[in-house]
């Protein structure tokens, strides 16, 4: 709802977040890119019309694009990149990735000159069972996005911090959808990183995100 969206923005601002990227889900099987962009613009304009009296983060538009075969051949996929950057957020298949999946990401980089950011990487089977595929994607030029929830949870905190300590290819995301079980959580996640890995490591992670998403949009 509009009111919940505003509550999420205000909560994020209170956590020290000055810029947010709104990445609505895009499913190629459900609508065309043009239909998605029209729907997204209407929702964004409605939100902005009701935000004048509030101190909220600066908003950039993007999309969380569900992987589909042949996506690298769609020239208008460029329209789904994160506003002001050459990055595109992609939700990969929730199954063991095949060579075809990896090649599709390569083609997005090579043919469309986009930097893929793979959404909530901790949810994919390959994150746990096949780190070599993650290395392959890094070598191709992909970036991984890790959710604040994975860092904050006592069940997964240790694994999250291990990955953040040993790799320079992670950016943070809240993946917040509401003010209930998926509320904004980056403030807590950044506090955890600073406490466990140090202020300098947190700064490096934030700097990577800023360099990709707030400046030139390329490494």
pLDDT of residue 179: 52
Higher-confidence position of 20 and 183: 20
Name the residue among 57, 53, 58, 77 with its Cα closest to residue 66. Answer: 77
Predicted pLDDT at 182: 56
Q: Is the pLDDT of residue 217 over 50?
A: no
Q: Is the pLDDT of residue 1 over 80?
A: no
Residue 146 tokens, joined: 């890790």
Span 63-213: which CATH code? 3.20.20.140
Mean pLDDT of 195-210: 93
The whole-number average pLDDT for the span 196-218 is: 83
Domain residue extents for the chain: 63-213
Region 184-210 average pLDDT: 90
Match 């208008």 to its residue by tokens. 76
Report which of 137, 217, 154, 162 is spatially closest to residue 188, judged by C-alpha positions.
154
Is pLDDT at 66 greater than 70 in this prediction? yes
Positions of E strands within 82-206 = 87-91, 115-118, 143-147, 170-173
pLDDT above 70 coverage of the chain, percent: 88
pLDDT above 50: residue 105: yes
pLDDT score, position 8: 74
- Which secondary-structure segment (H or E) carries 69? none
Q: Which residues of 131-164 are buried (b: 16+ CB within 10 A; e: fewer)?
A: eebbebbeebbbbbbbbbbbbbeeeeeeebbebb
pLDDT value of position 205: 93
Is pLDDT at 3 greater than 70 in this prediction? no
Q: What is d(CA 214, CA 12) in angstroms, rounded to the nearest whole number? A: 17
Q: pTM, whole model, 2 decimals?
A: 0.88
Burial 64-74 (b: 16+ CB within 10 A, else e): bbbbeeebbee
- The pLDDT value recorded for residue 50 is 72
What tens digit of pLDDT does each residue of 117-171 get?
Answer: 999 999 999 887 767 899 999 999 999 999 998 998 899 999 999 999 988 899 9
- Residue 185's φ and ψ, nearest 5 degrees, are -145, 10
């Amino acid at each position: 709802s509009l009111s919940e969206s505003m509550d999420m923005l205000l909560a994020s601002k209170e956590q020290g977040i000055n810029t947010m990227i709104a990445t609505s889900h895009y499913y190629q099987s459900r609508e065309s890119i043009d239909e998605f962009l029209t729907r997204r613009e209407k929702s964004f304009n409605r939100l902005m019309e009701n935000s004048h009296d509030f101190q909220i983060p600066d908003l950039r538009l993007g999309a969380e694009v569900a992987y589909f075969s042949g996506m690298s051949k769609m020239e208008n996929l460029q329209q789904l990149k994160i506003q002001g950057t050459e990055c595109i957020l992609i939700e990969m298949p929730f199954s063991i990735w095949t060579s075809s999946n990896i090649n599709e990401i390569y083609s997005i980089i090579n043919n469309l000159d986009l930097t893929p950011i793979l959404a909530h990487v901790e949810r994919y089977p390959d994150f746990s069972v096949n780190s070599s595929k993650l290395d392959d994607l890094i070598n191709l030029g992909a970036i991984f996005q890790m959710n604040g929830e994975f860092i904050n949870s006592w069940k997964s905190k240790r694994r999250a911090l291990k990955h953040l300590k040993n790799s320079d290819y992670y950016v943070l995301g809240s993946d917040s959808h509401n003010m209930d079980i998926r509320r904004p959580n980056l403030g807590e996640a950044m506090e955890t990183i600073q406490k466990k890995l140090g202020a300098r490591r947190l700064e490096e992670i934030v700097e990577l995100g800023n360099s990709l998403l707030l400046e030139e949009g390329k490494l």
